[in-house]
């Protein structure tokens, strides 16, 4: 039996988490959900990982949400609790990773697949990808933390329209809304484009990336004065660190900085 989740880590510290159920449009059954959560936890504990890319197998689907064929056999409330608990915790942990997370959307993202997108920091997609927050069609709300994150990403008004209508929208609209940052042209591999994007960030200092991600997430919940305080603390703390001193020396010496990779 093929593993439903495949994780690989390149020598340069780029990790790729791949949902590997193309026969089911990469829908997550119970086993895949648990494996996804485990993979995120393992990456969180691996100091060698600098950037994480999340994608799906094939070019038809990124993730089609939960596996409805399996879930149809579990109408009991405990099944809903389990689905909510496993994946909402996994995506919360994903947002808290101290590294950039890139969604490489290789195909359609429906329901929970769209919720996974909202837990990633950077998002690119294939030109043919389509999206739908389809939960209301199944008599549900989002269950993996997607509504709150979507509102934070694109605003309450636009998020409400997507959530309440469950309509299909394409890559161009996803880009216009801010759900997607980049569209990969036809003929180019999405994962290849994601790796290239990750490689742009690899030379940047890890501590500064971690602090910047944390500040951006915190700013959503804080008032402006609170954000100013958090920013000041992070800025001052980084000021005397080796990476900043190296940046200053490199500027004076007119060379590229060589940051610490730890």
Percent of the chain residues topping a pLDDT of 90: 88
Q: How confident is the model at residue 184 (pLDDT cuts 50, 70, 90)?
A: very high
Q: Is the pLDDT of residue 262 over 90?
A: no
Asked whether 22 and 60 are in contact (CB, 8 A), the reply is yes
- What's the mean pLDDT in 104-133? 97
User: Residue ranges of the domains in the chain?
Assistant: 5-201, 206-253
When pLDDT is cut at 50, 70 and 90, the band that residue 174 belongs to is very high
Query: What is the chain's length?
Result: 262
User: Which among 51, 87, 66 has a CA at the least distance from the CA of 21?
Assistant: 66
Q: Above 70 in pLDDT, residue 211?
A: yes
Which has more pLDDT, 75 or 16? Answer: 16
Position 68 scores a pLDDT of 67
Supply the pLDDT for residue 190.
98
Q: How far apart are CA 216 and CA 73, in angstroms?
A: 41
- Helix, strand or coil for residue 63? strand
Architecture of domain 5-201: Alpha-Beta Complex (3.90)
* Rounded distance between C-alpha atoms, residue 124 and residue 180, angstroms: 6
Q: What is the pTM of this model?
A: 0.94
List all residues 6 or more positions away from 207 whose beta carbon is below 8 Å from its beta carbon: 238, 241, 243
pLDDT band with cut points at 50, 70 and 90 for residue 21: very high
pLDDT at 229 (0 to 100): 96
């Amino acid at each position: 039996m093929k593993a439903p989740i495949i994780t690989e880590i390149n020598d340069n510290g780029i990790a790729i988490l791949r949902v590997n159920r193309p026969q089911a449009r990469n829908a997550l059954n119970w086993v895949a959900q648990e494996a996804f959560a485990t993979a995120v936890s393992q990456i969180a504990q691996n100091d060698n990982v600098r950037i994480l890319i999340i994608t799906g197998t094939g070019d038809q689907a990124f993730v089609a949400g939960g596996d409805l064929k399996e879930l149809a056999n579990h109408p009991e409330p405990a099944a809903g609790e389990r689905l909510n608990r496993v994946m909402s915790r996994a995506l919360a942990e994903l947002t808290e990773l101290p590294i950039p997370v890139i969604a490489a959307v290789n195909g359609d993202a429906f329901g929970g697949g769209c919720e996974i997108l909202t837990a990633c920091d950077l998002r690119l997609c294939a030109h043919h990808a389509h999206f739908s927050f389809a939960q209301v069609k199944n008599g549900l709300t989002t269950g993996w933390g997607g509504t709150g994150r979507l509102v934070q990403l694109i605003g309450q008004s636009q998020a409400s329209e997507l959530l309440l209508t469950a309509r299909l929208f394409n890559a161009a609209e996803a880009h216009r809304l801010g759900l997607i940052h980049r569209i990969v042209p036809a003929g180019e591999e999405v994962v290849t484009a994601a790796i290239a994007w990750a490689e742009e960030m690899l030379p940047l200092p890890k501590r500064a990336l971690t602090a910047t991600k944390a500040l951006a997430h915190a700013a959503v919940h804080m008032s402006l004065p609170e954000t100013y305080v958090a920013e000041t603390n992070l800025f001052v703390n980084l000021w005397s660190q080796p990476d900043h001193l190296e940046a200053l020396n490199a500027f004076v010496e007119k060379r590229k900085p060589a940051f610490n990779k730890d």
